[in-house]
Structure 1
Amino acid sequence: MDFFDSVGEVPKASGLDDLVGRSLDDGWKMMVPDRNKREKLMPEFIKYWKANNIDFPKYVNPYVLEVLTRLKADGNVLAIASAGVIEEIDRMVLECGFSGLFDQIISGESVKHNKPAPDIYIESVKRLRINATRCIAIEDSQHGIAAAKGAGLTTWAVHYPEYHIDQTAADIVFNGFEDINRYITK
């Protein structure tokens, strides 16, 4: 949204409900439905994005590393199945100290249909050689929940009070990673 402000554009969609959990391409199609305008703005956005990288450690919940470490120590297989761009996912993993915790990292760029389609979870489960009914997806977006449920995974949602995202399709909704940590250490 800062980018749109900087170039004097008003996106057609800007709500978290609409955009969180979608791929960059899908989000852009919603924000800038006019293809010509989108193609004109995208190179400017890429420059802006590279010059204004997200400071992932600043935003990561402090309990995420604790939850991941506990799950891994308990012998669980962990994967990231993100709608995002692989370069950003890899940078986040490195900068947040998550390296070595994941057995598989997959971006929605590598499947035919990104979230909310189930393709990313189907592919992740296939690569891990695990039955989907034995997997749990931890999601925060309506689109991610739909993707995980569509692939047959039990789905936990992380609710953040500052966001108003419909998570009713999840099997369990937690009030942050601290609640997940308490739940898995019972």
Structure 2
Amino acid sequence: MIEAVIFDMDGLLIDSEPFWRTAEKEVFGNLGIDVTEEEATVTSRMTTREVTEYWYRRKPWEKKTLEEVEDAVIQRVGELIDHGGVIMPGVIGLLQRFKQSGCKIGLATNSPDCLIPKVLRKLAIEHYFDVTISSDFVARGKPSPDIYIKAAFELATIPSNCIVFEDSKSGVRAAVAAGMSVVVVNRQVDFNEAGFEIADVKIRTLNDFGDDHIVLLNNNKTGFEIRPTD
């Protein structure tokens, strides 16, 4: 039965992915590394540590540790969130719907733990979440299922009783590998691309999540029901 709903963060709740690209271009650029758009796309689903290690392997730098460089990227992203973070369409309405239905609500992100409260405060949605999990606290970030398995444990439910909202192939893979139902939300991608076909529901924005999707997910999960709107 459905007991919990878990949300990704970057690109799903907040339009923060441009911030990561800006921060990485600035920080790594200061180290003599030209971060192209193509390479930024490759690293966009990595953890901050994985991105730092990726660039260090390609073009090692001196004088700064990996930790210092990683921290500089995170600090810059935090500044950009504070000054320009914008909530994605449909977030508030969907959180309210699930909260009113009695679902536990979690957040699971590859972003550093220190950015989670910053984002939730900026969007004024921290009170909706029962649990927040960062890849800082698991052995492997997405597409490994570790973070979703941990989220289910923290929410005191089993993975098969969870629905995940994700915006990327790596996130979808992680949630499916954890044994959860998945709704993929992305305004820009072609859902016919390999990697998205394993999601249970595909929508363009959270505003598009409606009663028909609730019926579909309830048919897949018997027991607790997410109530359609009146």
Q: Shorter-chain TM-score: what band?
A: 0.7 to 0.9
Alignment counterpart, residue 170 of structure 1, candidates 199, 203, 207: 199
Alignment counterpart, residue 78 of structure 1, candidates 95, 101, 105: 105
Matching residue of 2:80: 54
CA contact (8 A) 2:90 2:206 kept: yes
Point out where structure 2 has 5 or more consecutive residues left out of the alignment. Answer: 1-20, 215-227
Aligned equivalents of 1:39, 1:23: Cα separation in 2? 23
Compared CA separation, residues 114 and 44, structure 1 to 2 (3 A) = closer
CA contact (8 A) 2:86 2:123 kept: no
- Structure 1 SS opposite 2:202: strand
Amino acid at match of 2:35: P
Matching residue of 1:26: 50
Aligned equivalents of 2:73, 2:59: Cα separation in 1? 20
Point out where structure 1 has 5 or more consecutive residues left out of the alignment. Answer: none
Query: How many percent identity over aligned positions?
Result: 21
Matches within 5 A, 1:69-148: 69-148=96-175
Compared CA separation, residues 73 and 106, structure 1 to 2 (3 A) = same
CA contact (8 A) 2:110 2:141 kept: yes
The number of equivalent residue pairs is 185
CA contact (8 A) 1:28 1:38 kept: no
**Residue 155 of structure 1 pairs with residue 176 of structure 2:** no
- Structure 2 SS opposite 1:100: helix
Compared CA separation, residues 110 and 103, structure 1 to 2 (3 A) = same
Compared CA separation, residues 163 and 38, structure 1 to 2 (3 A) = farther
CA contact (8 A) 2:185 2:205 kept: yes
Deviation at 1:45, TM superposition (A): 6.0
CA contact (8 A) 1:122 1:151 kept: yes
Amino acid at match of 1:4: K
Aligned equivalents of 2:87, 2:44: Cα separation in 1? 16
Q: Structure 1, residues 94-142: CA drift from partner, whole Å, max 9, x if none? A: 1101121111001110011111111111111112121211111111111
Aligned equivalents of 1:65, 1:72: Cα separation in 2? 11
Compared CA separation, residues 73 and 133, structure 1 to 2 (3 A) = same
Aligned equivalents of 1:180, 1:131: Cα separation in 2? 23
CA contact (8 A) 1:140 1:157 kept: yes
Aligned equivalents of 2:63, 2:168: Cα separation in 1? 27
Compared CA separation, residues 95 and 84, structure 1 to 2 (3 A) = same
Aligned equivalents of 1:39, 1:138: Cα separation in 2? 41
Matching residue of 1:4: 25
Amino acid at match of 2:184: A
CA contact (8 A) 2:48 2:70 kept: no
CA contact (8 A) 1:32 1:38 kept: no
The root-mean-square deviation of aligned C-alpha atoms, in Å, is: 2.9
